[in-house]
């Protein structure tokens, strides 16, 4: 190294130039640019301190944790059913997936089997959530590359998905949907009607959205080879979900380790080749079509039966029973006060979240709260690669890369 | 070769010996083994390099605190996945809280960089050789590691929120 030959101490800038293979005599100094934490183009609270040579990014130092809410600590002091609202607030673009992933984890610990009908309702809700998640990501990608119309156009469809959530569980964004042991109520005729209407209307909307961007010359030029990552690096960085599939690895939790009856449905896993922003866009677009296919199959073949498991110790009894039946009253009281002990155990369950493998690692010591609950948050793991992906690119490309990765601050920081 | 818990465990034990691998459990279908901190990196490297196993994906890692267990108060859990065989394995290392030092995994898995920083942030486990072991989610000025069990979540001076009212 040149450092040993010199007796004078290097300044920070000179050291930086040396580390990045730049000549020390270079006239132009690097500019430090503070991107975020509340920049409108970062869609969430992320800070990146960039070292810029003109428009070119030479280095980036990300800072995260701005909305860290210590969910893992809070979970250690709450009864199991009170943890579901925490999971809502992780990836808030697709909260039903988080809710049901958590419910399935606890059901695995308790050893409860869920009736087919409840599983199918869960699949419908999870796939609707996936559509609303991908819809936000792809339309925001359009906004960041200068196409605002598509965003407003598909945002209306997200409202319709939220109407379905509202009919199913009463909430729209942070849903707290379902319960440990199934759903809290059956799909109402109105909910079924809304889902049917959505299935009829949405394909046209999405086809139109795709027509606007997929073969759009400007959009292709803006996104091809931007923020590319190879399959090998992506796996090393722990990528999962659409971002990994865009790099060409067909890993999907729904297929590899099916849960909630996903093995009953027929669907394809779209994969990309280069792992760049355009591939990620295409993979998400195609996944929306596959989700629609799954919803159609589940909607058509919705089995008869109960919408919850027969697990009186953990599943709240119907309210009218509580007023008339002594046992129901006791169970109701014990569940609400968190007085039901869970068995000793250790489980890991993962679902295919909007951004990848969303895992829940739960240790129970036989008490009323988890001893340890760890969330495997896909965003947290793959956002590490962001620095590597934007180095050497333009500033505007860094913004596109961030939106195409679909980093959700709530999930990143938990 | 179909990977089963038995033949994977057999391979690992024949390579590392009974002294270094113990407590093979199967709590939820995922084999859980315990090893010591001297062997952990070479074990994960072996699982990565072996042509039959090909366990090359670090799913997650986290810390766990067991204050009652003397001299093994802290635990680091690694969960790995072989995407080729769809086989998962969980590896635990117990270390004393008086000497919370672990070797880093960042040379093998880039994904472990932030996971180790998170574990350091929450439990104060020091990963030697880590390129940038600083807090990640909490502020730099914080003087304790909040996930340790001795730090209660709620304000302990309050008298109206006692545990019995909340079923704890």
Q: What 8-state DSSP symbol labels residue B124?
A: -
Q: What pLDDT, in 10s, does the model give residues A216-273?
A: 999 999 999 999 999 999 999 999 999 999 999 999 999 999 999 999 999 999 999 9
User: Is the pLDDT confidence value at A23 over 60?
Assistant: yes
pTM for the model stands at 0.91
The shortest CB-CB distance from A380 to any of B79, B114, B166 is to B114
pLDDT band at B161 (very low <50, low <70, confident <90, very high): low
Interface test with B, best of A49, A330, A361 (most B CBs within 10 A): A361
**Do A151 and A136 meet the contact criterion of CB atoms below 8 Å apart?**
no
In whole numbers, what is the pLDDT of chain B averaged over residues? Answer: 89
Q: What is the ipTM of this complex?
A: 0.92
Which residues of chain B neighbour A248 with C-beta distances below 8 Å?
none
What is the Cα–Cα distance from A42 to A296, expressed in whole angstroms? 35
Regarding predicted confidence, which is higher, B4 or A24? B4
Residues B19-36, mean pLDDT to the nearest whole number: 90
Q: What pLDDT, in 10s, does the model give residues A187-198?
A: 999 999 999 999
Q: Which residue of B has its CA nearest to A370?
A: B168
- Domains contained in chain B, number: 1
pLDDT band at B155 (very low <50, low <70, confident <90, very high): low
Q: What pLDDT, in 10s, does the model give residues B57-106?
A: 999 999 999 999 989 999 999 999 999 999 999 999 999 999 999 999 99
Residues A302-316, mean pLDDT to the nearest whole number: 92
Q: What is the pLDDT of residue A3?
A: 45
Q: What is the pLDDT of residue A120?
A: 95
User: Is the pLDDT confidence value at A34 over 80?
Assistant: yes
Q: What is the pLDDT of residue A2?
A: 45
Q: What is the pLDDT of residue A1?
A: 43
User: Is the pLDDT confidence value at A407 over 50?
Assistant: yes
State the SS3 of chain A. CHHHHCCCCCCHHHHHHHHCCCCCCCCCCCEEEEECCCCHHHCCCCEEEEEEECCEEEEEEEECCCCCCCHHHHHCCCCHHHHHHHHHCCCCCCHHHHHHHHHHHHHHHHCCCCCHHHHHHHHHHHHHHHHHHHHHHHHHHHHHCCCCHHHHHHHHHHHHHHHHHHHHHCCCCCCCCCECCECCCCCCHHHHHHHHHHHHHHHHHHHHHHHHHCCCHHHHHHHCCCCCCCHHHHHHCCCCHHHHHHCCCCCCHHHHCCCCCHHHCCCCCCCCCCCCHHHHHHHHHHHHHHHHHHHHHHHHCCCCCCCECCCCCCCCCCHHHHHHCHHHHHHHHHHHCCCCCCCEEEEEEEEECCCCEEEEEEEEECCCCCCEEEEECHHHHHHHHHHHHHCCCEHHHHHHHHHHHCCCHHHHHC
> The domain containing residue B87 runs over which residues?
5-152
The shortest CB-CB distance from B113 to any of A74, A359, A384 is to A384
What is the Cα–Cα distance from B14 to A379, expressed in whole angstroms? 38
Q: What is the pLDDT of residue B28?
A: 86
User: Is the pLDDT confidence value at B153 over 80?
Assistant: no
- The answer as to whether B163 is a domain residue is no
Q: What pLDDT, in 10s, does the model give residues A326-346?
A: 999 999 998 888 888 899 999
Pull the structure tokens for residue B50. Answer: 């072996």
CA proximity to A106, closest of A339, A345, A308: A345
- The answer as to whether B24 is a domain residue is yes
Instruction: Inspect the interface and report whether the beta carbons of A385 and B110 lie closer than 8 Å.
Output: yes
User: Is the pLDDT confidence value at A292 over 80?
Assistant: yes
Percent of chain A with pLDDT over 90: 72
Pull the structure tokens for residue A326. Answer: 């002594």
- The answer as to whether B61 is a domain residue is yes
Interface test with B, best of A231, A232, A238, A382 (most B CBs within 10 A): A238
Q: Where are the domains of chain A?
A: 2-63, 78-413
Please list, in sequence order, all residues whose beta carbon lies within 8 angstroms of the beta carbon of residue A94, skipping any fewer than 6 positions away: A129, A130, A132, A133, A353, A354
Contact with chain A for residue B34, Cβ under 8 A: no
User: Is the pLDDT confidence value at A125 over 60?
Assistant: yes
Rounded to whole angstroms, the maximal C-alpha distance in chain B is 61
Which residues of chain A neighbour B77 with C-beta distances below 8 Å?
361, 374
Question: Which strands sit side by side in the sheet containing B74-82, from one edge to the other?
Answer: B21-25, B31-35, B87-95, B74-82, B57-65
d(CA B44, nearest CA chain A) in Å: 13
In whole numbers, what is the pLDDT of chain A averaged over residues? Answer: 90
**Do B164 and A88 meet the contact criterion of CB atoms below 8 Å apart?**
no
The shortest CB-CB distance from A376 to any of B60, B113, B147 is to B60
Q: What is the pLDDT of residue A40?
A: 78
Instruction: Inspect the interface and report whether the beta carbons of B167 and A79 lie closer than 8 Å.
Output: yes
pLDDT band at A18 (very low <50, low <70, confident <90, very high): confident
Pull the structure tokens for residue A63. Answer: 């800072």
> Under CATH, which number does the domain A78-413 receive?
1.10.645.10
């Amino acid at each position: 190294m040149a450092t040993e030959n010199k007796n004078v101490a290097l300044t920070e800038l000179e050291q930086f130039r040396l580390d990045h293979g730049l000549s020390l005599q270079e006239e132009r100094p690097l500019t430090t640019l503070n991107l975020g934490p509340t920049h409108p183009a970062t869609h969430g609270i992320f800070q990146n301190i960039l070292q810029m040579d003109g428009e070119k990014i030479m280095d980036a130092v990300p800072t995260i944790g701005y909305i860290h809410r210590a969910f893992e600590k809070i979970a250690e002091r709450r009864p199991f059913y009170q943890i579901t609202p925490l999971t809502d607030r992780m990836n808030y673009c697709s909260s039903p997936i988080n809710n049901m992933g958590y419910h399935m984890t606890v059901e695995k610990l308790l050893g409860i089997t869920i009736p087919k009908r409840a599983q199918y309702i869960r699949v419908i809700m999870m796939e609707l959530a996936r559509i609303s998640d991908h819809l936000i990501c792809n339309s925001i990608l359009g906004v960041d590359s200068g196409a605002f119309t598509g965003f407003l156009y598909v945002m209306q469809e997200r409202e319709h998905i939220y109407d379905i959530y509202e009919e199913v569980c009463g909430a729209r964004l942070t849903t707290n949907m379902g319960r440990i042991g199934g759903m809290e109520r059956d799909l109402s005729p109105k909910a079924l009607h809304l889902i049917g209407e959505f299935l009829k209307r949405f394909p046209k909307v999405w086809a139109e959205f795709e027509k606007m961007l997929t073969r759009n010359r400007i959009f292709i030029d803006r996104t091809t080879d931007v923020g590319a990552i190879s399959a090998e690096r992506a796996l090393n960085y722990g990528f999962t979900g659409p971002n990994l599939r865009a790099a060409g690895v067909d890993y999907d939790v729904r297929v590899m380790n099916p849960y909630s009856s996903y093995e009953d449905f027929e669907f394809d896993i779209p994969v990309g080749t280069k792992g760049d922003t355009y591939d990620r866009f295409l993979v998400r677009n195609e996944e929306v079509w596959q989700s629609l296919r799954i919803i159609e199959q589940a909607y058509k073949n919705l089995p008869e039966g109960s919408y919850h498991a027969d697990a009186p110790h953990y599943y709240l009894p119907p309210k009218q029973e509580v007023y008339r039946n002594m046992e129901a009253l006791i169970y109701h009281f014990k569940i609400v006060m968190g007085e039901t002990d869970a068995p000793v155990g250790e489980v890991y369950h993962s679902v295919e979240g909007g951004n990848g493998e969303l895992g829940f690692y739960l240790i129970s010591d036989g008490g009323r709260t988890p001893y340890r609950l760890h969330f495997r948050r896909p965003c947290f793991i793959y956002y590490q690669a962001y620095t590597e992906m934007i180095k050497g690119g333009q500033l505007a490309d860094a913004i596109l890369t961030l939106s195409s990765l679909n980093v959700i601050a709530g999930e990143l920081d938990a | 070769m179909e990977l089963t818990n038995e033949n994977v465990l057999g391979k690992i034990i024949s390579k590392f010996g009974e002294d270094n691998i113990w407590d093979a459990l199967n709590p939820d279908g995922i084999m859980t083994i315990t090893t010591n901190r001297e062997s952990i990196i070479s074990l994960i490297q072996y699982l990565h390099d072996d042509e039959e196993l090909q366990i090359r994906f670090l799913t997650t890692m986290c810390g766990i605190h067991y204050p009652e267990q003397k001299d093994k108060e802290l635990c680091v859990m690694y969960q790995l996945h072989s995407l080729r065989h769809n086989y998962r394995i969980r590896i635990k290392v117990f270390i004393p809280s008086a000497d919370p030092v672990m070797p880093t995994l960042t040379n093998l898995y880039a994904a472990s960089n932030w996971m180790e920083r998170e574990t350091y942030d929450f439990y104060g486990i020091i990963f030697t050789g880590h390129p940038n072991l600083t807090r990640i989610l909490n502020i730099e000025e914080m003087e304790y590691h909040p996930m340790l069990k001795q730090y209660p979540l709620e304000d302990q001076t309050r008298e109206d929120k006692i545990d019995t009212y909340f079923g704890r």
